[in-house]
Amino acid sequence: MESSRGRVVVIGSLNVDQVVRVADHPKPGETITGEFSGLFAGGKGANQAVAAAEAGADVVMVGCVGADDQGRAYVARLAGLGLDVGQIEVSHRQPTGTAFITVDDAGENTVIVVAGANTDVGAGWPRSFPELTEADVVVLQLEIPLGTVAKAAELAQEAGARVVLNIAPYAELPPDVLALADPIVANEHEAMALADSGAGAGSLLMTLGANGAVWDGVGSPAEAVAPDLIVDTTGAGDAFVGALAAALAHGASREEALQQAQIAGAEAVTHWGAQRDGELVLAGRDAEPARGAERAAHGPPGRADSADAPPDV
């Protein structure tokens, strides 16, 4: 392994998962009662940032939360885990992103995601884009506007940083943006959709679940997990990406990075939730948000000022 050590700069979503348990899911038009299970930290961006920090990386989280208790609690959690939260902005027109999750007694779930403040990520770029070095690894996913993803990849490339693009949830990006990623990380379904789009990928890392992963022909077997230890597979993919980025930022080879990512992905299925001990505790409305520069947003709800709007693909 080389001696170089960069940071992992994750640009992505922060969602608060509101979980409710019910005996059975309601039928259309039906009202039922449920039991509130709590608020939990989620969002692919923050999940991957936490995983990278757990893997020993110096992590910068770039994102946006609302000016609300959920956003304050989430940013405080990330700061407590040692992440640099100075690049998390606060939107005054959008609430913190939320996933409304309903789980029945059979374990089946329904999920409704409201992007909220995640749609404001990148509104101040390039003015407020984080300073990068050639040793840094920039991690992107697709739970923020696609134009923001494209602009982040371009700015990272200009700075000489490495771009890791987790193309999930799948959406089409321009070929010139895909070409900036080393690698694109995709599961089998996402890789198939990418192939069907005809866009191709300069470097593709395909995760295969229990069959391991393959990065441009370099294979890595999955880490075995005893069936009785498997609790929840929700966070496995994000843990894989975060640990991969951490290893690359530390100068690991492809083989070493794959191995460390496989270990992290396997460990993630042994605890509940996308983040270990991820329940959020609200500190109250008088708590100050732990953040960088708060951005005063203007204009009608749901619309960014034209000068600061995230770029479209």
Catalytic residue numbers? 238
Do residues 241 and 184 lie in contact, with contact meaning Cβ atoms separated by under 8 Å? Answer: no
Largest CA distance in the chain: 61
- The whole-angstrom separation of Cα 165 and Cα 157 is 12
C-alpha separations of 124 from 75, 165, 237 in Å: 19, 21, 30
Say if strands 184-187 and 59-66 run parallel, antiparallel, or are unpaired.
unpaired
Do residues 238 and 48 lie in contact, with contact meaning Cβ atoms separated by under 8 Å? Answer: yes
DSSP assignment letter at 7: -
Instruction: Calculate Rg over the CA atoms of the chain.
Output: 19
Say if strands 35-42 and 15-21 run parallel, antiparallel, or are unpaired.
antiparallel
Do residues 274 and 41 lie in contact, with contact meaning Cβ atoms separated by under 8 Å? Answer: yes
